[in-house]
Each structure stands twice: as C-alpha cells, then as structure tokens.
Amino acid sequence: MKQIHFDRPVRISFGKVGKTRLVHTVWEAMKCLSSDKWPNRAGPMCAMADRACAEPSRDR
C-alpha cells in the first residue's frame, strides 16, 4: 500500500477528554479509525481512507 502523507498532522478524537491521536498518513488514520475504540464511526472514514490509498497521488 502506498503511503500518503497529510500536509500536517491530523488529530483524531475518540469523543472522550484526553482520548486523541495524531496521525501523519492515511494508513495511520485508517488503522486508528478501524480500531475497537471507535467502531460506530469507523465505516465511512475507513472507506474514504481506503479510496484515498487506492487513488494515485497527483502531486507526487
């Protein structure tokens, strides 16, 4: 899988105070969102991340 890096780190919040994570790539975000900690919201975001990984990067 091709690594697609974000322009700057993205903070993912799990809905509880102090439960956040900084991710730097689409793969990290996909793994984080598909974890058991965030099961209800994982579907749509993982699908978007999956498509982003499959599409060739235009700027590189």
**Full-model pTM:** 0.49
Task: Determine the pLDDT at residue 42.
Answer: 47
Asked, for residue 46, whether it belongs to a domain, the answer is yes
Tell me how many domains the chain contains: 1
The phi-psi region of residue 25 (left if phi > 0; otherwise alpha if psi is between -120 and 50; otherwise beta) is: beta
Compute the distance between CA of residue 58 and CA of residue 13 in angstroms, rounded to an integer. 29
Asked, for residue 33, whether it belongs to a domain, the answer is yes
Asked, for residue 59, whether it belongs to a domain, the answer is no
Asked, for residue 48, whether it belongs to a domain, the answer is yes
pLDDT per position as a tens digit, 8-39: 888 887 777 777 888 888 888 888 777 666 55
What range does the domain containing 19 cover? 5-54
